[in-house]
Amino acid sequence: MDKTRTEFDPLDSRGHQYHRWVLDVRQTLIGKGYLNAIEPPEGEAPLAPGRRRAKALMFLRRHLDTTLRWQYQQVEDPHVLWNTLARRFGDVHVALLPELQDKWASIRLIDFKSVEEYQTAMLGLRARVHFCGVEKTENDLIEKTLQTFPRETATLMKQYRHDYRTSLTETFDQLMTQLLTEEKECRLMLKNAARPVGTLPIPENNYNRAAGGKARKSRGDRPEPYSRERGSGNGTRVRRGTRGKRSRNRSNTLKKENPPASKGRGSQPV
């Protein structure tokens, strides 16, 4: 295992993700058995210098950005480093809360290209606001969504609001599921309406093509098991890879040759 690899995003020098970073560090150190090095139990002293404390310190430094690592390079106790970072970034949410509240006030469903992008942004913003001590309920998320519907879908918005008031839709996730379904059905309807009446859909350009870009051969065009010898015109088939290739236009019938005449004294040349 690479000892220099980070298990989650390091803490940046501005500390905007400090609360998320604290949760990641605590859960990881609990799994590794080093939590006592940064948070000793009540009434107990911090760990004495040793292997466990050194590993906890290396873990904390590995999950700090370069600026913070250089600023606290001289701190050799993980408990001291943990408390120093808490004093510096523990109240960072006080400065972040006005910015997050402004984002909450300006976020609108109509500003996103898809429902999925809007859902991701809303849940991320809700999590960051929660770290600052402000809780956004399911009612807040649903009302925010219904109030920022496009103007041309006012009738649909009234139907969703009626479902919410009659408890047919109780959570934000249920509302997002309905919106995602409506969005996909609308796209299919527009796609089918764009095709002229009485025509079939045009197949894709790469339909019936192999990976190399060539069209697949049908069963009727299946190649023969033996190909013709290159350059032969007699239509004979030659097995590939066979030894002793026969020459072109040569018969396979063996011909009996006459033995050579013996050269004797009385023999005369014919």
32: in domain: yes
Say which residue the tokens 């210098």 belong to: 49
Report whether 29 contacts 37 (CB < 8 A): yes
On whether both 82 and 109 belong to a single domain, the answer is no
CA atoms within 13 A on the CB side of 62: 14
On whether both 71 and 152 belong to a single domain, the answer is no
Instruction: Say what the pTM is.
Output: 0.56
120: in domain: yes
257: in domain: no
148: in domain: yes
Say which residue the tokens 């250089």 belong to: 70
Report whether 56 contacts 34 (CB < 8 A): yes
Cα 31 → chain centroid: 27
3-state SS class at 54: helix
36: in domain: yes
Q: How confident is the model at residue 213 (pLDDT cuts 50, 70, 90)?
A: low
Domain containing 126 equals: 93-193
Q: Which of residues 30, 61, 89 is at a domain's end?
A: 89
75: in domain: yes
Which residues are CB-contacts of 82 (< 8 A; sequence separation ≥ 6)? Answer: 38, 39, 60
For residues 33-59, average pLDDT: 81
Strand partners, 11: 64
pLDDT in tens, 162-194: 998 998 889 999 999 999 998 888 888 888 888
pLDDT at 220: 57
On whether both 163 and 75 belong to a single domain, the answer is no
For residues 27-37, average pLDDT: 87
Distance between CA atoms of residues 38 and 26, nearest Å: 9
The phi, psi pair for 215, rounded to 5°, reads -70, 140
| Domains of the chain: total | 2
On whether both 151 and 109 belong to a single domain, the answer is yes
On whether both 73 and 111 belong to a single domain, the answer is no
